[in-house]
Chains A and B, each alone.
Chain A
């Protein structure tokens, strides 16, 4: 057990680390999206706009945090924290390598799923308290979306957990340890679960084509339409933190975590895989239009949910027959 002081240091390190990752992924998104669209993206601040996210963050910090008339002040002010903190809490259990990790929870993946659900309440608070019909519609959509996508996500994780026989993320990654034989990664043994998890992940962090809660062409900005300044920045950061944490969970569950052919160190493998997944999400964003709320629901309940259930059954059978 670490002393309180060193625990604090670890948390601080994590916070700084995630901020750097966050700024990096913001920059990467803007650049990637721009190049998909015949643009250059930010070019003026720093080399190829490298300092742009910092400039944006500075702008957010110094902006006024307006509180519109008629809002439920307490809910309105606490909502961004309730959205941001759980997204950040997930960071605690992510094993970057066998040694670099904040906490080694025995029920790590269970903790992740549980903590992720909390932010739904934050979204609901933000949408409800804003006293705006667009944000109300946005929060209605987001709740429906989170509830219906957490189930297939949980079930797809369940298949992996059954194979690894543990809830500990560290052990799940170790179960996929490999040198050159990358076919030990669960993505090759559980391709269906990976696809379901990846789609559900996309919905969970509200990115195109599942960005309904904030659909800017329909609901202007959805649940965060009334937020400004640092509170808006927190909501935005929560989104990017979620982007990183969920893709790193995906890396741990399906892509073997930090394991890879021994040409690169583990940490590099981990970030390489995670950022590849993030890049795929950017790519999706540049390609697809947005689905409609009812289509999203029917995809979640009628396609992903049965598929995830069938996957669990098949996995169980294969384990019973000692194939896996």
Chain B
């Protein structure tokens, strides 16, 4: 009789570092991972089905619940998809405000990433540093949209209302601080010997595998592929802004971390540019009273996680016949079963943390 030398460990859905209700079935040899099988679906709320029973403007509030730390970008993707199907031209001011909000959203998402990564590696303090600064951004969001996470602020054709008076100056003043803030973050972790030992050369994802799996966003860029939908297919006036795409070299945990820190700075510069060149004018285009779509179409944007897509099929009704959200984190999670085997339990947590998922988006 062969003696089984491995044990099975069920990590999640209730586990402090699975960022929600993600579940990994690990096969361990001592502490070394032999096999990893991710399991999903614990936060499935049937958002796509719910959307079929709602009118097009009502769906916006559903998209808030996809990546709930990143709601502006989800709203933006959906609104752009509907607008492109209806052929609506969004006023320039609304486009700029959308870009500004999307980039601020990206900044706060990367701040969560930084804090959660530190937490997962056992350092408590980074979490409080980044959440303190994230709070400032959330305060701006609250002032603009009236909510901290689920905004429901974008509308098909533009925005719900114009920005509050004087907020642009205050956001601009905050963006002055951001490079210093990011420097502080990097001082906390980037140079730390233990941090480097935990991150460098761990969880290496090859370029070929990343492309074959359809991985997008910072994880793809960390493998050395300079692919960013904001550059490849600019939407919402992204072509007006100058920004660079940070690219990694070897696709390990440290690259994935470093890229997000660089993107934080880039997003900050985009926010500054948007405020500096903020045009005056309308904030919402002329939109039919009742929105009906006949036809189908796919639209994609670059969220902080990767390629967020919306596929809409309309049959001339008030609500879509079928709607599909392509969530980047769902696709990105595939890398785990290729990357984790051979590592230790501690590496599982570190690598998983650098994938930066939000279960709301994965399970929809």
A, B assembled together = yes
Chain A residues, CB < 8 A from B123: 208, 287-290
Instruction: For the complex, give the distance between the alpha carbons of A33 and B189 in Å.
Output: 17
For the complex, is A45 an interface residue (Cβ under 8 Å from B)? no
Instruction: For the complex, give the distance between the alpha carbons of A141 and B30 in Å.
Output: 10
Report yes or no: A215 in contact with B197, Cβ–Cβ below 8 A: no
**Chain B contact patch, size range:** 20 to 34
Instruction: For the complex, give the distance between the alpha carbons of A289 and B132 in Å.
Output: 19
Report yes or no: A293 in contact with B346, Cβ–Cβ below 8 A: yes
Report yes or no: B128 in contact with A289, Cβ–Cβ below 8 A: no
Report yes or no: B7 in contact with A133, Cβ–Cβ below 8 A: yes
For the complex, is A211 an interface residue (Cβ under 8 Å from B)? yes
Min CB distance B93 to A, Å, is 36
Report yes or no: A38 in contact with B128, Cβ–Cβ below 8 A: yes
Min CB distance B21 to A, Å, is 15
Chain A residues, CB < 8 A from B194: 209, 288-291, 295
For the complex, is A233 an interface residue (Cβ under 8 Å from B)? no
For the complex, is A48 an interface residue (Cβ under 8 Å from B)? no
For the complex, is A39 an interface residue (Cβ under 8 Å from B)? yes
- A residues 272-296 in Cβ contact with B at 8 Å: 285-295
Interface of A is mostly: loop
Instruction: For the complex, give the distance between the alpha carbons of A201 and B267 in Å.
Output: 44
Q: Across the interface, name the chain B residue whose C-beta is closest to A211.
A: B122
For the complex, is A217 an interface residue (Cβ under 8 Å from B)? yes
For the complex, is B181 an interface residue (Cβ under 8 Å from A)? no
For the complex, is B361 an interface residue (Cβ under 8 Å from A)? no
For the complex, is B49 an interface residue (Cβ under 8 Å from A)? no
For the complex, is B344 an interface residue (Cβ under 8 Å from A)? yes
In the complex, per-residue mask of B109-148: 1 if CB is within 8 Å of any chain A CB, else 0: 0000000001111111101110010000000000000000
Report yes or no: B16 in contact with A217, Cβ–Cβ below 8 A: yes
Pick the contact of A217 from B30, B31, B120, B128 — CB < 8 Å?
Answer: B120
For the complex, is B275 an interface residue (Cβ under 8 Å from A)? no
Instruction: For the complex, give the distance between the alpha carbons of A217 and B132 in Å.
Output: 21
- Interface size of A in residues (CB-CB distance below 8 Å): 30
Instruction: For the complex, give the distance between the alpha carbons of A228 and B125 in Å.
Output: 27
Most chain B CB neighbours (cut-off 10 Å) among A33, A219, A290, A293: A290
Instruction: For the complex, give the distance between the alpha carbons of A123 and B194 in Å.
Output: 26
Chain A residues, CB < 8 A from B128: 37-39
In the complex, per-residue mask of A82-123: 1 if CB is within 8 Å of any chain B CB, else 0: 000000000000000000000000000000000000000000
Given the known inter-chain contacts A38-B132, A288-B192, please indicate yes or no for A293 contacting B344, CB distance below 8 A. yes
For the complex, is A220 an interface residue (Cβ under 8 Å from B)? yes
Q: Across the interface, name the chain B residue whose C-beta is closest to A294.
A: B344
For the complex, is B40 an interface residue (Cβ under 8 Å from A)? no
Q: Across the interface, name the chain B residue whose C-beta is closest to A292.
A: B346
Report yes or no: B17 in contact with A217, Cβ–Cβ below 8 A: yes
Chain B residues, CB < 8 A from A51: none
In the complex, per-residue mask of B1-31: 1 if CB is within 8 Å of any chain A CB, else 0: 0000001010000011100000000000011
Chain A residues, CB < 8 A from B127: 37
For the complex, is A36 an interface residue (Cβ under 8 Å from B)? yes
Given the known inter-chain contacts A292-B346, A293-B31, please indicate yes or no for A36 contacting B121, CB distance below 8 A. no
Instruction: For the complex, give the distance between the alpha carbons of A39 and B125 in Å.
Output: 10
Given the known inter-chain contacts A37-B125, A211-B122, please indicate yes or no for A292 contacting B198, CB distance below 8 A. yes
Instruction: For the complex, give the distance between the alpha carbons of A93 and B57 in Å.
Output: 75
- B residues 308-364 in Cβ contact with A at 8 Å: 344-349
Report yes or no: A217 in contact with B345, Cβ–Cβ below 8 A: no
Q: Across the interface, name the chain A residue whose C-beta is closest to B188.
A: A287
Min CB distance B348 to A, Å, is 8
- A residues 212-236 in Cβ contact with B at 8 Å: 215-220
Chain A residues, CB < 8 A from B121: 217, 289-290
Given the known inter-chain contacts A133-B7, A209-B194, please indicate yes or no for A290 contacting B347, CB distance below 8 A. no
Report yes or no: A36 in contact with B125, Cβ–Cβ below 8 A: yes
Min CB distance A65 to B, Å, is 22
Given the known inter-chain contacts A292-B344, A293-B31, please indicate yes or no for A220 contacting B16, CB distance below 8 A. yes
For the complex, is A137 an interface residue (Cβ under 8 Å from B)? yes
Given the known inter-chain contacts A33-B124, A38-B128, please indicate yes or no for A289 contacting B118, CB distance below 8 A. yes
Report yes or no: A289 in contact with B195, Cβ–Cβ below 8 A: yes
Chain B residues, CB < 8 A from A211: 122
Min CB distance B353 to A, Å, is 9
Pick the contact of B349 from A141, A209, A218, A288 — CB < 8 Å?
Answer: A218
Most chain A CB neighbours (cut-off 10 Å) among B7, B120, B194, B348: B194
Chain B residues, CB < 8 A from A288: 122-123, 192, 194
Instruction: For the complex, give the distance between the alpha carbons of A305 and B7 in Å.
Output: 32
Instruction: For the complex, give the distance between the alpha carbons of A289 and B198 in Å.
Output: 9
Report yes or no: A292 in contact with B197, Cβ–Cβ below 8 A: yes
Min CB distance A250 to B, Å, is 22
- A residues 185-225 in Cβ contact with B at 8 Å: 208-209, 211, 215-220
Chain B residues, CB < 8 A from A289: 118, 121-123, 189, 192, 194-195, 198
Min CB distance A176 to B, Å, is 32
- B residues 184-218 in Cβ contact with A at 8 Å: 189, 192, 194-195, 197-198
Report yes or no: A215 in contact with B122, Cβ–Cβ below 8 A: yes
Most chain B CB neighbours (cut-off 10 Å) among A33, A134, A215: A215
Report yes or no: A217 in contact with B119, Cβ–Cβ below 8 A: yes
Min CB distance A171 to B, Å, is 38
Pick the contact of B9 from A133, A208, A287 — CB < 8 Å?
Answer: A133
Chain B residues, CB < 8 A from A287: 123, 125
Report yes or no: A215 in contact with B7, Cβ–Cβ below 8 A: no
Chain B residues, CB < 8 A from A286: 124-125
- The 4 A-B pairs of least Cβ separation, nearest first, read A290-B122, A37-B128, A289-B121, A289-B123
Chain A to chain B contacts (Cβ below 8 Å), 11 pairs: A37-B128, A39-B128, A140-B30, A216-B16, A217-B17, A220-B15, A285-B124, A286-B125, A288-B122, A288-B123, A291-B194
Given A288-B123, A289-B123, A291-B198, 9 other A-B residues pairs in contact with their CB atoms under 8 A = A38-B128, A38-B132, A134-B9, A140-B30, A208-B123, A215-B346, A217-B349, A218-B348, A291-B197
